[in-house]
Structure 1
């Protein structure tokens, strides 16, 4: 079975507004997730944000600082490891992709207003296509939500 790779082109809302909802959908499907960030600073900022993003929803997650990564339903890291045996891997903030074997789904989220992030996403697209992954491209709609473009 090939890995499904979804590219999410952020054009209307920043990562902080979009990521929690996508992570909650993964948890609703009983999928464990690892979120690979491009820097320690971004990882720490997302960790703090995910604890406080909503007054009505709770998103259980952790980092290496919390310990017990194997028990975290969502694990934030800058590394390429998979310490919680996740089925889904998110790549954010221009994170360098690890080998994707073993994942059912990889989600690449990139800022459409950042030319370097766009260039990275194009390179990742070629890489994943070359590995035989099923690749799709999604763009934010004006009113919210996502539209499949490729």
Structure 2
């Protein structure tokens, strides 16, 4: 390469280096409003339903009442659901003592005609004021069940759905 060609190549490189940089793209800024409503969280403290003593084969139903306690709930519809306990069947609940079973049922009303379960058989409490309270549970062991002596028990899960 000749001296003139080198000089021209260097000048060309200088021209490229000396070209102005493109202007930055225009920008703008704004804000994003972020918010949340925090509500109190309903809580269940559970409950108990103690049938006491059932005599094997007794000729009368054994009816008892209990309650489920709740707290810190907002206003609106509170829906309480009870599962089928150990049997998983809300229409055939059973307490067990070893391999022995004693049938019982839970109800939403004092006449024991409305099973307390899930879905359309749940108990709905309409709260006009936030807070807590109790939900009644009515239990029955039907008469004429002949079972071995023992301590019978079951665990039923309570689900509370709230607004």
TM-score interval (norm. to shorter): under 0.3
Query: TM-score of the superposition, structure 1-length normalised?
Result: 0.22
Q: Kindly indicate which of the two structures has a greater share of residues assigned to helix.
A: 1
More strand by share: 2
Normalised to the residue count of structure 2, the TM-score between the two structures is 0.21
Larger Rg: 2
